[in-house]
Amino acid sequence: MKVYWSYTIGDTDDTFPIEFVSGPKKYLSGYDMAYDHAKCPAWKQYHNNTWVIEQPFDFGIKFKDDRLETNIPQKAYDQYVHVADTWLDGEHPEIQLKYNWFFWTKEKDVWIEQLAPPLLSRAGVELVSGTFPISVWFRPIVIGMKLIDNDIFLPRGTPLSHIRFPCKDTVRLEQRDPPEYLKKQLNQHNTLRLFSKFKSWDIIQQRLSTKARCPFKWN
């Protein structure tokens, strides 16, 4: 099964050179298969369609006196980091890295999951996980995280997110620019989020119901 991917930095069409960011990396390709559990068919099946998104550059964050300090210029910070008005409402500060990854497919009933890499917590952050059906909804995967520590450093190459497709078919990823109809959908989805923030899931359920409906009226 083929799934297409693209990415941007912030609310722009900016990307890095292909030599700097080449795309998601297959999880099993970089795994130490010497472990005994790596020979388990159930374990390999679970991770078969899993890819890794890595931090593209050295990134440091310090949280002090309800403020964030980073090691990148202000212009880069404005493009890469999103801080909502409610970022301090929970026990830990919550931010988003606007490292936007898009995945889409022509196949039906394909879902995507964003999962936390096992070692990410050692860096002092906790990934916000989630799932949605890429067959009916076009939106970016973003890196939402809670800052558990006050002084965090994410070196280039740090696994930020595991992207998994929970299906039996083997997924093949292919880089492609999103077609215009998906860009139009993205604009509509962003407008919906702006005016009615949490209404998107209701529409997703409607689209899933429509896709599953039998085309023959008598059934």
Mean pLDDT by runs of 10 across the 219 residues of the chain is 96 94 94 95 95 98 95 97 96 97 96 96 96 97 97 97 95 97 95 92 92 45
pLDDT digits (tens, 9 = 90+) for 112-160: 999 999 999 999 999 999 999 999 999 999 999 999 999 999 999 999 9
The pLDDT of residue 216 is 40
The strand pairing partners of 197, in sequence order, are none
H helices then E strands: how many in the chain?
A: 4, 14
Domain architecture of the chain: domains with CATH: 2-178 (2.70.40.10)
The pLDDT of residue 197 is 85
What is the chain's mean pLDDT, rounded?
A: 94
Q: Which residue is associated with the tokens 């159930």?
A: 42
The pLDDT of residue 219 is 40
* Whether the Cβ atoms of residue 138 and residue 182 lie closer than 8 Å to each other: yes
Nearest to 142 by CA among 11, 4, 3, 2: 11
The whole model's pTM is what? 0.92
Q: Which residues contact 30 (CB under 8 A, 6 or more apart)?
A: 52
- Tokens for 171, please give them: 């997924």
Residue 177 gets which letter from DSSP? P
* Calpha distance 140→218 (Å, rounded): 38
